[in-house]
Chains A and B, each alone.
Chain A
Amino acid sequence: MSSHSVLETSMLASLETRRRAGVPRMDADVLYSDHAGDFFSNDYLSIGKLPHIRQQFLDVLSQKPLIFGSTGSRAITGSTSDHIGLEQYFMKQLQVEKAMVFNSGYLCNMTFFGYAPQAGDVVLYDEFIHASIHDGLRISRAKEHTIPFAHNSVADFESKLKQILRDYPAIPSGLSTLFIVIESVYSMEGDFAPMEEIIGLVEKYVPSKSAHIVVDEAHSLGLYGPSGKGLLREWGLEKRVHSVIFTFTKSVNFVGGVFTTTPIIYQYLSNYGRSWLFTSSLPHVDLAAIKFCFDVMQTPEADQLRKNVANMCRFFVKYFLESTYDIPKSVIAILHQETKDSNGRGLVSPIFPIYTPQPVALQHHLNKLGYAAKGLTYPGVPRGTERLRVVIHGGNTEAEIRLFVDRLRAWALKQVALTTAAQSRMMIEGTASLHKL
């Protein structure tokens, strides 16, 4: 196809528009080295770095008679005793009525939010919930009745809640459901949801048969709670919510997700959820790995990694603030600690957005040094909050962190020098428009 098809011409035009608007292109086929240290992956605990873990997993696998594909969806021939066994394992581990294993958090969110809401139901969600939840809501029967509340704002949540109860009388009368959707820890800011306050308000205002609280624990599983079982269990809130999503693709360092809910919801979704019905189930090797990784997450070694994460986070913040006190916050800044961990009750999350107006320039600078950084701008994040999303892991060392922060400082100083020089030049040349960095 030497000359472009009309399809490609249109696609290239869209990509070009983004480029001109300064939106970074995502190159899935370009590799970013991270030999200088992992400061960007979601492998929060660095569990793969535990000695012997590779061999242990291979030993487990060699005992399994089945390791290949299931070759069917869970509706047809892809529900084997291994699949059901894994769900029963999670029911015991999490002490829940029912557990539904999905191939991914994305498919879990698409299935639950796409198919659970009934006609007449309403959804009240934190404005920063994950894109996959939006993709589910968009195809659901509640798609015209989804209302965001200001991120983590208990006051706005209460106000929107009361408004919904007024506008949708079927909810206070127990005929329809109000879904309340939050994440325990948010992916882009690394801040905590005021979970107990939100739950308290739901219990106060919404009849229990109409309330359905859903919590996505993607960024808290493995980091908090007894044996890493999440933030709800850290704070003893798990019996006060209805459905919980646990993805295995961050601390647990594998693939897939489990959704804890009621037997009726499980049955309904396994009959009506198209994104469940029409996809093949996980291969046997993955089922073995999920259980293996979930067990590893609960070991004393993992407890130690959780401690490391907390210590390294505190070290990173301290060293970053010390190293950048003299650099304008408009050049480089982290989220104010009080804000970030305001609902954390003393806990700290390992996600640190580093705000800078030049995230792509910082990305390239870091890439050259061997960091797999990615600059994030609109539309990935709101305008004015351009950033790099730094993550501190169980396996990061103080030496690595020091070097990383020193390099951030070096880049920031260069930016300051450039700004000063540019400003001086402009004052001398009398340019009217102050060109923002």
Chain B
Amino acid sequence: MSPLSALESSMITSLEARKRLGVPRYDADIVAPDHAGDFFSNDYLSIGKIPHIRKSFVDALSRTPFLFGSTGSRAISGSTSHHVELEEYFVEQFEAEKAMVFNSGYMCNLTFFGYAPQEGDVILYDEFIHASIHDGFRISRAKDHAFAFSHNSVPDFESKLKQILHDYPGIPSGLSTLFIVIESVYSMEGDFSPMEEIITLVEKYVPSKSAHIVVDEAHSLGLYGPGGKGLLREWGLEKRVHSVIFPFTKAVNFIGCVMTTTPTIYQYLSNYGRSWLFTTSLPHVDLVGIKFCFEAIQTQEADQLRKNIKDLSHFFVKLFLESTYDIPKDILSIVNPESKDLHARGLIAPVFPIYTPQPLALQHYLNKLGYAAKGLAHPGVPKGTERIRVVIHGGNTDVQIRQFVKSLPGVGVESSRSDYHHPIKGDGGRARELAQVVERCTRPGVRAQL
């Protein structure tokens, strides 16, 4: 196929259009170096750093009779005793009525949100929920009745809630369901949801038989709660919500997801959920891996890693603010900790967006130093909030953090602070340095990876 097909011509046109708009391109076939330290993965706890954990896992596998595939979907021959037992394990672990193990958080969200809503149901969701949830909505019967409330805004939630009860009389009369969808901690901002306030408003206004609160604990599982079992359990709210999604792909450092819900919903989804019915279930080795990793997050070593995260996160914020106090916030800044951790009740999330108008320049600069940074711009994040998403892990050290902060452009410059002048006035040590770095990185000839 030496001349381009019509398909490829059209695809290239789209990719070019994005490039001209400055949208970063994703290269799935290029490895980003991270020898300088992990400041970007979702391996929050650095659980792989627990001594002997690799060997323990291989030992656990060697004691398992079955390792390979299930070769069937959960509807046909892919429901083995190991699949069923893993779900029973989670029923016990979470003290839930029923647990449904999915191959991924994406498939869980696609299945639940795609197939649980019935005709006449309505959805009220935080505007920043994950893309996988939107993909579920789009195929559901409630797709034209899904409403967003302003991110983490309790007043806007209340206002939209009242509006929905007014516009959809089926809900207050107990004939239809209102799904309320939030995340415990949000992936891109690392901020906490005002969960208890939202739950309370639902309890106040919505008849209990019509309310269905869904919480995605992707970025809180392993970090908070007894044994790392999540934010709902940290705050004793788990009995006041209905279905909870726990992906194992961040702190738990594996693959797959479990959703806790009711037996009826489990039965319905396992009969109607196409994304459940028509995909092969997890191979046996993954069932072992999930249980192994879930136990690992409950160990004392994991408790210590959780403590490390907390300490190092505070250290990072302090160091970053000290080191960048004289850099204009419109060049480089992190979210004001007061607003980031507003609803956190003293907890801290290890996700730190670093806002900069030049995320790709910053990415390339950091990549060269051995950091696997990724610049994020529209449409991945809203315009005006371009950033790189920094993560502090249980296995990061304060030396690494110092080195990382010092590496940031404009920081660690030998000029004294008194050299600094406001960039609008043109002169100034740090601002000039940063501008030079940015200019160098965006010059043509430098790997123009847009």
Name which of B27-35, B344-352, B409-417 contacts chain A.
Answer: B27-35
Find out whether the CB atom of A67 lies under 8 angstroms from the CB atom of B271.
no
**Interface hits, B129-183 → A, CB 8 Å:** 130-132, 135, 138-139, 174-177
CA distance A84 to B31 in the complex (A): 8
Question: Which residue on A lies nearest to B247, using beta carbons?
Answer: A280
- B37 at interface (Cβ–Cβ under 8 A)? no
CA distance A10 to B142 in the complex (A): 14
- A140 at interface (Cβ–Cβ under 8 A)? no
Listed in ascending order, the chain B residues whose CB lies under 8 Å from chain A are 1, 3-8, 10-12, 14-15, 18, 25-32, 34, 40-43, 47-48, 54, 57-58, 61-62, 66-72, 74-77, 79-81, 83-84, 87, 97, 100, 103-107, 116, 118, 121, 130-132, 135, 138-139, 174-177, 208-212, 242, 247-250, 252-255, 262, 264-268, 270-272, 274-280, 282-283, 285-286, 289, 293, 372, 374
Given A209-B5, A262-B1, do A71 and B71 touch, yes or no (CB 8 Å)? no
- A283 at interface (Cβ–Cβ under 8 A)? yes
Name which of A28-36, A196-204, A309-317, A418-426 contacts chain B.
Answer: A28-36
CA distance A121 to B266 in the complex (A): 38
The 10 sampled A-B contact pairs (Cβ below 8 Å) are A8-B262, A11-B118, A42-B72, A54-B67, A69-B293, A77-B374, A84-B31, A208-B1, A271-B18, A272-B14
**Interface hits, A241-285 → B, CB 8 Å:** 242, 247-250, 252-255, 262, 264-268, 270-272, 274-280, 282-283, 285
Contacts of B83 in A (CB 8 A): 28
Find out whether the CB atom of B79 lies under 8 angstroms from the CB atom of A68.
no
CA distance A209 to B277 in the complex (A): 36
Contacts of A26 in B (CB 8 A): 74-75, 270-271, 277
Question: Which residue on A lies nearest to B31, using beta carbons?
Answer: A81
Question: Which residue on A lies nearest to B75, using beta carbons?
Answer: A26
Contacts of A116 in B (CB 8 A): 7, 11
Find out whether the CB atom of B131 lies under 8 angstroms from the CB atom of A278.
yes
Contacts of A61 in B (CB 8 A): 58, 61
Question: Which residue on B lies nearest to A119, using beta carbons?
Answer: B10
Find out whether the CB atom of B76 lies under 8 angstroms from the CB atom of A40.
yes
CA distance A43 to B267 in the complex (A): 26
Selected from A71, A103, A275, A293, the residue in CB contact (under 8 A) with B41 is: A71
Given A77-B41, A84-B31, A278-B130, do A283 and B7 touch, yes or no (CB 8 Å)? no
Given A68-B47, A262-B1, A272-B14, do A293 and B68 touch, yes or no (CB 8 Å)? yes
- A417 at interface (Cβ–Cβ under 8 A)? no
CA distance A224 to B328 in the complex (A): 64
Find out whether the CB atom of B254 lies under 8 angstroms from the CB atom of A266.
no
Distance of A374 from chain B, by nearest CB (Å): 6
Contacts of A54 in B (CB 8 A): 67
Name which of A170-178, A298-306, A348-356, A427-435 contacts chain B.
Answer: A170-178
Find out whether the CB atom of B43 lies under 8 angstroms from the CB atom of A71.
yes
Question: Which residue on B lies nearest to A134, using beta carbons?
Answer: B274
Given A41-B71, A71-B42, do A209 and B29 touch, yes or no (CB 8 Å)? no
- A372 at interface (Cβ–Cβ under 8 A)? yes
- A118 at interface (Cβ–Cβ under 8 A)? yes
- A47 at interface (Cβ–Cβ under 8 A)? yes
- A139 at interface (Cβ–Cβ under 8 A)? yes
Distance of A5 from chain B, by nearest CB (Å): 5
CA distance A106 to B54 in the complex (A): 30
CA distance A10 to B267 in the complex (A): 13
Find out whether the CB atom of A41 lies under 8 angstroms from the CB atom of B275.
no
Question: Which residue on B lies nearest to A9, using beta carbons?
Answer: B209
Listed in ascending order, the chain A residues whose CB lies under 8 Å from chain B are 1, 3-8, 10-12, 14-15, 18, 25-32, 34, 40-43, 47-48, 54, 57-58, 61-62, 65-72, 74-77, 79-81, 83-84, 87, 100, 103-107, 116, 118, 121, 130-132, 135, 138-139, 174-177, 208-212, 242, 247-250, 252-255, 262, 264-268, 270-272, 274-280, 282-283, 285-286, 289, 293, 372, 374, 389
Find out whether the CB atom of A11 lies under 8 angstroms from the CB atom of B43.
no
Given A7-B118, A71-B43, A279-B104, do A131 and B277 touch, yes or no (CB 8 Å)? yes
Distance of A329 from chain B, by nearest CB (Å): 25
Distance of B345 from chain A, by nearest CB (Å): 26
Distance of B402 from chain A, by nearest CB (Å): 22
CA distance A87 to B107 in the complex (A): 23
Find out whether the CB atom of A253 lies under 8 angstroms from the CB atom of B15.
no
CA distance A242 to B57 in the complex (A): 41
Find out whether the CB atom of B28 lies under 8 angstroms from the CB atom of A177.
no
Find out whether the CB atom of A29 lies under 8 angstroms from the CB atom of B79.
yes
Contacts of A62 in B (CB 8 A): 58
Contacts of B31 in A (CB 8 A): 79-81, 84
Selected from B5, B29, B69, the residue in CB contact (under 8 A) with A266 is: B29
Question: Which residue on B lies nearest to A118, using beta carbons?
Answer: B10
Given A14-B268, A79-B29, A135-B275, do A41 and B58 touch, yes or no (CB 8 Å)? no
Find out whether the CB atom of B105 lies under 8 angstroms from the CB atom of A280.
yes
Nearest 8 Cβ contacts at the A-B interface: A279-B106, A106-B279, A249-B280, A280-B249, A11-B268, A268-B11, A71-B42, A42-B71
Question: Which residue on A lies nearest to B270, using beta carbons?
Answer: A28
CA distance A137 to B69 in the complex (A): 27
Find out whether the CB atom of B11 lies under 8 angstroms from the CB atom of A103.
no
Selected from A69, A177, A252, the residue in CB contact (under 8 A) with B254 is: A69
Find out whether the CB atom of B286 lies under 8 angstroms from the CB atom of A255.
yes
Given A15-B267, A105-B280, A132-B278, do A79 and B8 touch, yes or no (CB 8 Å)? no
Contacts of B139 in A (CB 8 A): 135, 138-139
Contacts of B276 in A (CB 8 A): 28
Find out whether the CB atom of B174 lies under 8 angstroms from the CB atom of A139.
no
Find out whether the CB atom of A268 lies under 8 angstroms from the CB atom of B14.
yes
Find out whether the CB atom of B54 lies under 8 angstroms from the CB atom of A286.
no
Find out whether the CB atom of B116 lies under 8 angstroms from the CB atom of A7.
yes
Known: A28-B75, A75-B374. 17 other contacts (CB 8 A): A1-B262, A11-B118, A42-B77, A72-B42, A74-B26, A77-B42, A106-B280, A174-B6, A177-B5, A253-B68, A255-B283, A262-B1, A267-B15, A271-B18, A289-B283, A374-B76, A389-B76
Distance of A191 from chain B, by nearest CB (Å): 19
CA distance A197 to B392 in the complex (A): 58
CA distance A188 to B87 in the complex (A): 29
CA distance A274 to B130 in the complex (A): 11
Given A84-B29, A209-B6, A278-B106, do A8 and B69 touch, yes or no (CB 8 Å)? no
Given A58-B58, A255-B283, do A15 and B268 touch, yes or no (CB 8 Å)? yes
Find out whether the CB atom of B254 lies under 8 angstroms from the CB atom of A274.
no
Contacts of A374 in B (CB 8 A): 75-77
Given A28-B79, A57-B67, A118-B11, do A6 and B210 touch, yes or no (CB 8 Å)? yes
Distance of A2 from chain B, by nearest CB (Å): 11
Selected from B14, B264, B274, the residue in CB contact (under 8 A) with A135 is: B274
Find out whether the CB atom of A48 lies under 8 angstroms from the CB atom of B68.
yes
Contacts of A57 in B (CB 8 A): 67-68
Contacts of B77 in A (CB 8 A): 32, 34, 40-42, 372, 374
Contacts of B11 in A (CB 8 A): 116, 118, 264-265, 267-268
Find out whether the CB atom of A69 lies under 8 angstroms from the CB atom of B248.
yes
